[in-house]
Amino acid sequence: MTTLQLENIVKRYKNHTVLDNLSLDVKDGETLVLFGPSGAGKTVLLRLVAGVIDPEEGRILIGGADMTDVDAEHRGIGMAFQNFALFPHMDAFENIATPLEAKRSSADAIKAGVHRVAKLLKIDHVLTHQPKALSNGQKQRTALARALAGSPPLLLLDDPLRNVDAKLRFEMRLELPRVLAAQGATVVYVTQDYKEAMALGDRIAVISDGRIRQIGTPEDIYNAPADIDIARLFGDPTINLLDVTPNAEADGVSVLLSDVRIALPGIPANAAGKACVLGLRPETLRFVPAGTPGAIPVTVEAETPLNEKTVTLALTVRSREILVSRPAGTPGPASGSAHIAVDGANAFLFDKETGALIARHGSHTGTQGEAA
């Protein structure tokens, strides 16, 4: 294990600033996920840490030592990429052994090292296979095993599950934490899949346009997204976003949905009258019987089941679209008129102009995700 610190990193290609004064602290033994759209600068960041490219400005410290000018092979880093990048003329054993060979380990140590990681990744039965004889899943496991073989204190994984199918991706997502824990490395993991980010990250750094937009635990980010863009990136189905202009109330503000008033406790009164966006996570909305106090009338447009959830597209009386998600098998309307309940304490309010989350007063923190 080790630590990684990036201090005020600037990286430019010609006139284009890819990383803009970026600083990041990765703790000892932590798995930090770099999450963001393609072109955000995630891979460039990883390559800078690896030492494949150099920053224009800033420092890179590994285990407290300045590595900015140290060659890639002396940084003590293991890497795996989305395209596997196995050596085609070597069998799986030889591929996995390369970092151990580079360290000039003894033949016995190499054998023991390869078998240790091969067992961990469940590929000990295909070690004599050439890459072309391996399935996609086995190739990807071999590439991971190679990254782990030298027991590097710092492991960089660049979207390693990108090119495997959904089932394998799911399987590996469940398996990786155990593999990484056994390895005891500090990990920087790049992905564009929010589920992978939440499942694997001790913390997630949301990166776009070369800057870190928010960094925190999965809870921090899911329950208090710093802005609308981040709120949209986490969650499936995507968060509902509705333009609203809040009204002042004795405690906070309220908004109207299908002409029904929804109180948003704890929102500062100065949000009243401002152009805002109401954020409602689909799983926090519930279908309720007509006549339930505060129930919002809607019309059901379509029901689309989604991985043990049932997603309903509904329209408010003002024809605004709302997605509602509930556990599969629980009752709900498939068509026609219906009513939904919105718990204002679980709603987000964003400033429409800046996109920023409008924070609540301390005592009114929502209970996103904890809701039954």
Give me the residues that bind another protein (CB under 8 A), please: 166-167, 170, 173-175, 177-178, 181, 195, 198-200, 218-219, 222, 232-238, 281-283, 301-309, 311-313, 321, 323, 325, 327-329, 369-370, 372
91 contacts: CB under 8 Å, gap ≥ 6: 127, 128, 129, 130, 131
Nearest distance from C-beta of residue 313 to another protein, angstroms: 3
278 DSSP β-pair partners: 242, 349
Nearest distance from C-beta of residue 327 to another protein, angstroms: 4
Nearest distance from C-beta of residue 309 to another protein, angstroms: 7
Reduced to 3 states, what is the DSSP secondary structure of residue 279? strand
Separation between Cα atoms, residue 221 and residue 211, nearest integer Å: 16
CB 180 within 8 A of CB 100: no
The Cβ of residue 243 has, within 10 Å, a number of other Cβ atoms equal to 11
Tokens standing for 97?
Answer: 């052994």
**Smaller CB distance to another protein: residue 275 or 306?**
306
Q: Provide the H-helix boundaries in the chain.
A: 42-50, 92-102, 107-120, 136-149, 166-183, 194-200, 218-223, 228-233
In this structure, is the dihedral angle defined by the CA atoms of residues 272, 276, 281 and 287, taken in order, positive or negative? positive
Separation between Cα atoms, residue 34 and residue 160, nearest integer Å: 13
Nearest distance from C-beta of residue 127 to another protein, angstroms: 22
**Smaller CB distance to another protein: residue 62 or 342?**
342
Greatest Cα pair distance, the chain, in angstroms, is: 76
Nearest distance from C-beta of residue 86 to another protein, angstroms: 22
Nearest distance from C-beta of residue 2 to another protein, angstroms: 21
Q: Provide the H-helix boundaries in 14-55.
A: 42-50
Q: Please give the single-letter amino acid code of residue 289.
A: P
**Smaller CB distance to another protein: residue 81 or 234?**
234
**Smaller CB distance to another protein: residue 119 or 361?**
119
Nearest distance from C-beta of residue 32 to another protein, angstroms: 16
Burial of 47 (0-12, 13-18, 19+ CB in 10 A): middle
In this structure, is the dihedral angle defined by the CA atoms of residues 219, 225, 230 and 231, taken in order, positive or negative? positive
**Smaller CB distance to another protein: residue 273 or 369?**
369
**Smaller CB distance to another protein: residue 19 or 40?**
40
257 contacts: CB under 8 Å, gap ≥ 6: 242, 244, 278, 296, 316, 320, 342
**Smaller CB distance to another protein: residue 95 or 312?**
312
Reduced to 3 states, what is the DSSP secondary structure of residue 56? coil
CB 111 within 8 A of CB 94: no
Query: What is the residue whose two structure tokens read 């003002």?
Result: 318
Nearest distance from C-beta of residue 367 to another protein, angstroms: 10
Nearest distance from C-beta of residue 198 to another protein, angstroms: 5
**Smaller CB distance to another protein: residue 172 or 271?**
172
Nearest distance from C-beta of residue 357 to another protein, angstroms: 16
Pairing relation of β-strands 260-264 and 309-316?
A: unpaired
**Smaller CB distance to another protein: residue 275 or 328?**
328
**Smaller CB distance to another protein: residue 184 or 273?**
184
Residue of 202, 205, 136, 131 lying closest to 171 (CA atoms): 136
